[in-house]
Amino acid sequence: QVQLVESGGGLVQPGGSLRLSCAASRNIFSLYALGWYRQAPGKQREWVASIRNSGHPEYADSVKGRFTISRNVAKTTVYLQMDNLKSEDTAVYYCNARRFDANYWGQGTQVVVSS
Task: Say what the pLDDT of residue 29 is.
Answer: 81
Averaged pLDDT for residues 66-93:
95
Task: Say what the pLDDT of residue 14 is.
Answer: 98
60 — pLDDT class (breaks 50, 70, 90):
very high
Task: Report CA-CA distances (Å) from 112 to 29, 57, 61, 75, 79.
Answer: 29, 24, 20, 27, 18
Contact 48, 57 (CB under 8 A): no
**CA 15 to chain CA mean position, Å:** 19
86 — pLDDT class (breaks 50, 70, 90):
very high
Query: Is it the case that residue 55 has pLDDT exceeding 90?
Result: no
Query: Is it the case that residue 112 has pLDDT exceeding 90?
Result: yes
19 — pLDDT class (breaks 50, 70, 90):
very high
13-22, 49-58, 62-71, 79-88: least confidently modelled range:
49-58
